Structure 1
Amino acid sequence: MSMLKSRLIKPLIIAGVAGLMAVTSVAQAAGDLTRRPQKLPDLVMGSDESDYYLSQKEYELETGKAYKLAIISNGQKEYAMVAPDFFASIFLRKVEAGGMEIKAVSLTELEFEDAAEAEIYFVPVKPGEFAFEMEGLQGKGMVGVFKVK
């Protein structure tokens, strides 16, 4: 191989190897962020003492961490959990309810007509404070907040 060809080919090989290394490093992830979720304290709506009982008023979360939240209605009333800003700021992996998995891009409301339980699996992707409430029962104290760092 001539000296000129060697000078031209060597930089091309180096650039090709560097490009391949960059693509390879981008393609490798540290792990699936949605796996091994941290279980949060259950959010229970209603109790034997009060239809307006809410077990948790505040959740502290971090972006990029996977969580599992069980939302439980004791069946005393119809409860409709709404949290539009929070639901818009998470990656929703799935909802488990009634013996099935529901795979959806987002939620708008979780409505419980009777005693039931739903588990949501999610990863917060946006920091901030996001209110949640039981629709129509805010005046009875059925409100809370997700604080995401």
Structure 2
Amino acid sequence: MTILKTVGLAGLAAVMGVSSTIAAAQGDLTRRPTKLPDLVLGTEDNRYHLSHKEYQLETGKSYKLKVISSGQTEYAVKAPGFFNSIFLRKVEAGDMEIKAVSLTELEFEQEGEAEIYFVPIKPGKFEFFAEGLEAKGMAGVFNIK
């Protein structure tokens, strides 16, 4: 083997070793999500209470958000801009794991909860709300940087 081939193969091996190390270090963005504070809809004292009005998120970081309905009324949680700006990994509700490309809304007809696993992919300020209950204070925002 010529010296050029030997040096070329050694260089290629070194570059491949570095790039595979970088890829392994970055890992799967959807794993080990950061747990956000639960979003609780209503309480016994106030059916229109919203536990959090604002969430701070970063693009490229994995999150888990639990949405909990008190069952005090029906809640249809919508966040059209937000749902279109995330990579949705899955939704867990009851004994089910739902894998879908996107969400339109989470509707609770009674007491229950759902966990959303996602990665924000687009920065911006995105509103969320319980449809028809915005004037009663059931609205908030996801700030994604």
Indicate the TM-score class for this superposition, using the shorter chain for normalisation.
0.7 to 0.9
- The C-alpha deviation readout for 1:45-72, integer Å capped at 9, x for no partner, is 0101111000000000001111000000
**Is the counterpart of residue 94 in structure 1 residue 87 in structure 2?**
no
Tell me the TM-score normalised to structure 1 length: 0.84
Tell me the TM-score normalised to structure 2 length: 0.86
Asked which structure has the greater CA Rg, the reply is 1
Number of the residue aligned with 2:122: 126
- The C-alpha deviation readout for 1:75-116, integer Å capped at 9, x for no partner, is 000000000000000000000001110000100000000000
**Is the counterpart of residue 35 in structure 1 residue 31 in structure 2?**
yes
Number of the residue aligned with 1:84: 80
Number of the residue aligned with 1:62: 58
Question: Match of 2:26, SS?
Answer: coil
Q: What is the total number of aligned residue pairs between the two structures?
A: 145
Separation in 2, partners of 1:88, 1:42 = 21
Number of the residue aligned with 1:47: 43
Shift of 1:119: 0.2
Amino acid at match of 2:62: A
- The C-alpha deviation readout for 1:5-30, integer Å capped at 9, x for no partner, is x7xx89x9799879978986897561
For residues 50 and 64 of structure 1, do their structure 2 counterparts lie closer, same or farther at Cα, with a shift above 3 Å needed?
same
Separation in 1, partners of 2:15, 2:51 = 53
Question: Match of 1:86, SS?
Answer: helix
Number of the residue aligned with 1:111: 107
Separation in 2, partners of 1:141, 1:40 = 21
Separation in 1, partners of 2:36, 2:16 = 41
What runs of 5+ residues in structure 2 fail to find an aligned partner? none
Separation in 1, partners of 2:61, 2:38 = 18
What runs of 5+ residues in structure 1 fail to find an aligned partner? 1-5
Q: Percent identity?
A: 63
